[in-house]
Amino acid sequence: MRASGIGTRYALYVAALAAALVAVTLVAAGAIALQRTRVLQRELREAVGAARAADDERALDGAARYLGLHLFNPLYQLDVERLNEAIQQTQAWLPVVTFLVVDREGRVLTDGTPSNPMYGEPAEGPLPREQSPDPILIHRGSVTELRFRVAAGGVWAGWGIVTLSEPPWEASLRRLEEQRTSELWRGHQASLLKLGALIMIATLGLGLLTSLLLSRTLARPLTQMSRAAGQIAAGNLDHPLPIDSPDELGDLARALNRMAGELRAHEEALRAERSDLAA
């Protein structure tokens, strides 16, 4: 296939059309996704800012100090029954998942249940220092572990380990994220459908334009050559084709013109020969 051939030319037309459609699709989809992502990120940042304003860590620190004082007397006296009652009272106002009370030796004294299956087992994980009033917060997915010192009046009795389910603000944030992600996906689908419709319309328009180009550059010259071939077959050799393009159509038109000229020259030679024979 020649570089200036008609096949090469229309192959380039089709390639350019496909490249333009792909480029438009990618740019539009990227712009839509970027816009939606920025909206989601902004809303999540606002939600996180509002949640931080609630000062969750300060609230947990206050809860740890209260529980450390509330559990001191029963833990100091190793009164498991009173410890279980205190744990049940705590479960009424905090989203407690598990509650362990650990003695001074680092072993579980009670978990708040009647069966108390973890009694005597060593407590796993770090514990606050004996003289440190600051609790330890450990975040594990949707739960937060609060480890605090049980003490009063400078006297230390042991530790408490409370596992809390996610705070209300985290649950709200998670629901917001799920809701916004779903809305983002639905909006993205709608945008892609609109984009697909626009691409289809653009494809139809470009296809119509391509068909017009084919009609002008291919169908009309072929029609002219077909008529010229019919004239040559009927004996009309003075019907030159005005096509002078550098592709296969031009080659075919020039070949027809040469054939007509050769036939005309051959016919004149025959006439001269007949005149000589008649003379």
**Is the CATH number 1.20.120.160 carried by domain 216-278?**
no
Torsion-angle region of residue 239: left (phi > 0), alpha (psi -120 to 50) or beta? beta
Half-sphere exposure of 272 (CA within 13 A, CB side): 6
Q: How confident is the model at residue 92 (pLDDT cuts 50, 70, 90)?
A: confident
Q: Residue 1 above 50 pLDDT? A: no
Every domain range in the chain assigned CATH 3.30.450.20: 56-166
* 3-class DSSP state of 265: helix
Does the pLDDT value for residue 221 go beyond 50?
yes
What value does the mean pLDDT take over residues 79-104? 91
Tokens of 254: 């020039």
Task: Please give the structure tokens belonging to residue 179.
Answer: 């809701």
pLDDT at 201 over 90: no
Question: How many CB atoms are located within 10 Å of the residue 121 CB?
Answer: 13
Where does CATH 1.10.8.500 sit in the chain?
A: 216-278
Residue 95: the pLDDT is 85
pLDDT band, residue 30 (cuts 50/70/90): low
Whole-number pLDDT of residue 267: 76
Q: How far is CA 177 from the centre of its chain?
A: 15
Tell me the pairing of strands 155-165 and 136-140.
unpaired
pLDDT tens digit sequence for 144-179? 899 999 998 889 999 999 998 866 555 555 566 666
Query: Can you give the pTM of this predicted structure?
Result: 0.47
The pLDDT value given to residue 20:
74
Q: Is the pLDDT of residue 53 over 60?
A: no
Q: Say yes or no: domain 56-166 is CATH 3.30.450.20.
A: yes
